[in-house]
Amino acid sequence: MISKRLDQQTTKALKSMLQNLNINQSRVVIDLDKQTVEVQDDEQDIEDLLEVAGTLTPERGKELLEEIRKSREEWD
């Protein structure tokens, strides 16, 4: 994803529009094609995700790898 800088006037206008939709989070992704707004949890960042990813048991990791392998076979 590429970040683009917004001017102050545009930022205020976007905040106002989002507040009208009861969206008050500071991080959102707007998909104009799908006409959706994805709200990003302010408390969860990449470090949190990496920490959670490391909590899989070896057995669950093997199960997930097996599911991925089966899915790939089905695609072929």
Q: pLDDT, tens digit, for every residue of 16-55?
A: 999 999 998 888 888 999 999 988 775 655 666 666 666 7
Question: What 3-state class would DSSP assign to 29?
Answer: strand
Cβ within 8 Å of residue 18, ≥6 positions away:
24, 28, 37
Is 15 in contact with 30 (CB distance < 8 Å)?
A: no
For residue 53, what pLDDT is reported?
Answer: 65
Give the domain ranges of the chain.
1-42, 44-76
- pTM, 2 dp: 0.49
What is the structure's pLDDT at 46? 60
Q: What is the pLDDT of residue 60?
A: 78
Rounded Cα–Cα distance for residues 48 and 73 (Å): 32
- State how far the Cα of 5 lies from the Cα of 46, in Å rounded to an integer: 22
Please work out, in degrees rounded to the nearest 5, the angle formed at the alpha carbon of residue 34 by the alpha carbons of 33 and 38: 115
